[in-house]
Amino acid sequence: MSHFPYGVAAWLFLVGLYGIVTSRNLVHLVISLAVLQSSTYILLLGVGYRTGAVAPIFATIPPSTPAVDPVVQALVLTDIVVEVTVVALILALVVQVHKRHGTIDPDELRKLRD
């Protein structure tokens, strides 16, 4: 298989990291975090992909048919659940930050704290 998906994964990881580092808005920052996370989906699915293989459901096809790796699909599913939890939690914290300080700019928040 070509290395294209890995390139996309690396690109998403770096773009997400860049977004987090340069963010001026906490909601934008959380979305950048989600972009960073989505690179792991592509990486994992790319790892399990096999050219010409079918979905790993063996109810109607013979067990010897080449299929893509079901393990990574389970991992991605778990990964998505984890991400939803973390993103929801961080967004809830952002809402609280906005309630207390009236701003969601990380730089202004730092000034307020010092």
Partner 1 sequence: MNCESCGTDDVTPMAPLPVAIPLITAAILAGLRSVLPRRVSFWIALAAAAATLACCVDLLHASRGGTLVYWFGNWQPRHGVALAISFAVDPIGAGLATLVSLLAITGMIFASRYFDTVGTLFHTLLLAFMGAMCGFALTGDIFNLFVFFELMSAAAYALAGYKTEDPAPVQGALNFAITNTIGAYFVLVGIGLIYAHTGALNMAQIARTLDAEPASPLVIAAFTLIVSGFLVKAAIVPFHYWLADAHTVAPTPVCLLFSGVMVELGLYAAARVYWSIFAGTLGHASALRAMIVGAGCATALVGAGMCWSERNLKRLLAFLR
We find the least distance from the C-beta atom of residue 26 to partner 1, in angstroms, to be 7
DSSP 9-64: HHHHHHHHHHHHHH-SSHHHHHHHHHHHHHHHHHHHHHHH--TT-B-S--SSS-TT
We find the least distance from the C-beta atom of residue 37 to partner 1, in angstroms, to be 6
Report the C-alpha gap between 16 and 61 in whole angstroms: 40
Tell me if 53 contacts partner 1 by CB under 8 A. no
Binding footprint of partner 1 on the chain (CB under 8 A): 9, 13, 17, 20, 26, 29, 33, 36-37, 39-40, 43-44, 47, 71-72, 75, 78-79, 82, 85-86, 89-90, 93-94, 96-97, 100-101, 109, 113
